A and B are shown apart, each in its own frame.
Chain A
Amino acid sequence: METFLQQLINGFSLGAIYALIALGYTMVYGVLRLINFAHGDVYMLGAFAGYFIANALELDANPSIFGTIVVTIGSMGICACIGVLIERFAYRPVRSHSRLTSLITAIGVSLLLEYGGQVVFGATPRFFPQMIRSRTYAFGGVQITNQSLLIIIVAVVVMFGLEFVVHRTKIGKAMRATSFNLSVAKLMGINTDFVIAFTFALGSALAAAGGVMVALAIPRIDPLMGLMTGLKAFVAAVLGGIGSIPGAMVGGVLIGLMETWLGATAYSTYRDAVAFSVLILILLFRPAGIMGTATTEKV
């Protein structure tokens, strides 16, 4: 029982990481119908931005909550700019082309960031400074660290925050209008270029926050860290129903639980395979995902 509860906590902690990244995937998809494969790599850039800011502030030697907030916000700002730049120079020029063009462009951007990252940062993994000292809380035999707790809380807050932004604010209304029909939204006087840039800025900032949070809990960062985590988050977004904000959360947690459950068996090294098998099964039997609604497309 104790082990079961512990695995549940482990699964939630891992799932919250996927959920945090899946939220960004799903938001960009919701507005643009674009699967932004570079999202996982923006998450990596967020971790590296946090690494450099934290080292500049020498937070490893004197950890502080205030410092952590500064690092997180700084990293979010940097990545928001990077997100806008990616949109401006990679996606906007091909926006009017077929969706396949944008998809392939996204893969290109992803590879550029991964291997460009190896050139700039080097392939050697770096270790993220301990801005918050790790502390373990025990409830009976079940342990959770303050860092895992933080990730879960941040993921939930971000999910509700996004729901609020998309459904209760003016820019959210503009995002939904743009998503519904880009040209009509433009005719109605919505600055769609701005809306799309804003979506990318927001999504990238969330990825950066995710990068910093995860690097706190699992301190090893390298330029390829966004590859597998990004793909898993993508699976999570599809599983939950791509385009649906609560769906990303549900999908992330489910993938986390699934991997943890598998890790507890003798087949622990198959966990990547299982995540992608889930993707295939979902696409075969319920392409809209758990929380998504099936839409028929006009041809």
Chain B
Amino acid sequence: MASGAHSGRYLQTRWTSQMRRMGPFVAGVVMLSLAGACERRQGAAADSGGEIVVGMYGSLTGDGASFGQSSKEGTELGVEEINTAGGLLGGRKFRLLIEDDQSKPEEASNAVTKLISQDKVVAVLGEVASRRSLAAAPIAQKFQIPMITPSSTNERVTEVGDYIFRVCFIDPFQGEVLAKFAFNDLKAKKVAILKDIQQDYSVGLTDSIASHFKALGGEVLDPVSYTSGDSDFKAILTQVRSQKPAAVFVTGYYPEAAIITRQARELGMTMPILGGDGWVGDALKNGREALNNTYISNHYSADNPDPLVQTFVKSYRARYNREPDAIAALAYDAVKVLADSMTRAGSTEGPKVRNALASADLPGVTGRLKMNEKRNVDKPAVIQQVTFVNGEVKFVYKATINPG
């Protein structure tokens, strides 16, 4: 030990004396390189005809990786199509910068801060999970950079400010759709709800389902809570089982939904289980056979015969060799809305693009994208039945429910 301490101190003194000699030189180099970096960035950021730099942030890793991946693919496909078609504003092309937020809200706000203040993006696309959109939206609002969330359905996201838009329906509507489907089509009169109290999305959707189901004349048991990352749900499920609900809602995201569904079936709970668009993720397939007799509300159905949908599905398949899910379709639509608004604004400046976004109205893969005064779009929702066949999850179209 003694000799170790000595050698440590010896190294330290040598290092310090070296620093003293080299100090001014090192500092000079650091300053020069910093100055160079600033210069380069300013060059890229100038709004004078070069590329249009657009930022996307998403959960490329972590719990929500499937969301981030689908979003990224949809966004990239949209950007490529626009660039191949000759760009916009007289031939300017999109340059897409993607930041990973590791499925963490604090990283989401860091990512957006970096995109806006360092990379000087003119618009931000993202996130999927409402909680992360809510964390990052105030930053976009502060810098007056338009942000379009493709698929955050919590009502509060666009209430952050007038620079925040979305291209999906909102949870009060999604809750209504699910409540109606359970009450009218599944003939359920008593339902239980499991909510992820860590996710704004799940909490909002739970409230909405509960109030609409009660309004229809049904009975809603006290919602049961869990948190993202939990893996043992048998205790809460046994409690739910003892109250004998006719249907169960799981309003959280796919990683937990897969395990909850499995454990519910293991406890002999055979009733229909329903979820929102948060169920759409690759890992849902781990629910396996337990997924039979489950239903979700979703933004679009890949088997919709509309030529716009079929063209999209075809080019997505050609590019990524898989079926596009709703998250990918919404991300694609968000890019199209942004390009359309910039074209109409004739500029990439934040305030002008914002004004154009506020009056957007164009056909999209996920339905008509007409911005309302709350910067949301009124779109229909589809109900899909989830099935597990030959190791694959299939979403089978059941019904379309229109708003209003």
Task: Give the interface of A toward B (CB within 8 A).
Answer: 2-3, 6-7, 10-11, 13-14, 97, 122-125, 127, 130, 134, 136, 138, 141, 143, 145, 218-220, 225, 259-264, 266, 268-269
Contacts and interface: CB of A to CB of B under 8 A. Distances in A.
Given A136-B266, A220-B286, A269-B225, A125 B235 contact: no
B231 A264 contact: no
B215 interface: no
B138 to A, nearest CB: 25
B285 to A, nearest CB: 8
Contacts of A123: 61-62, 65, 102-103
A13 B233 CA distance: 12
Contacts of A268: 224-226, 235-236
A134 B266 contact: yes
B352 interface: no
A136 B102 CA distance: 36
B48 interface: no
A296 B286 CA distance: 51
A122 B238 CA distance: 33
A220 B259 contact: yes
A122 B235 contact: no
Contacts of B310: none
B63 interface: yes
Interface in B281-335: 283, 286, 288
A125 B255 contact: yes
13 contacts: A3-B242, A6-B238, A122-B61, A123-B61, A123-B62, A123-B103, A124-B61, A124-B65, A143-B266, A218-B259, A269-B197, A269-B225, A269-B226
B266 A263 contact: no
B392 interface: no
B268 A138 contact: yes
Tell me which of B1, B62, B226, B238 has the highest count of chain A C-beta atoms within 10 A of its own C-beta: B238
Nearest to A136: B266
B92 interface: no
Contacts of B1: 97
Contact of B267 (A6, A124, A225): A6
A14 B226 contact: no
The 8 closest A-B pairs by CB, nearest first: A263-B235, A124-B65, A3-B242, A10-B234, A260-B235, A127-B286, A218-B231, A264-B239
Given A14-B235, A97-B1, A259-B232, 15 more contacts: A3-B238, A3-B242, A13-B234, A14-B234, A122-B61, A123-B65, A136-B266, A143-B268, A220-B231, A220-B255, A263-B239, A264-B236, A266-B222, A268-B224, A268-B235
B227 interface: yes
Interface string B250-271: 0000010001001001111000
A222 B4 CA distance: 38
Given A10-B238, A220-B259, A124 B62 contact: yes
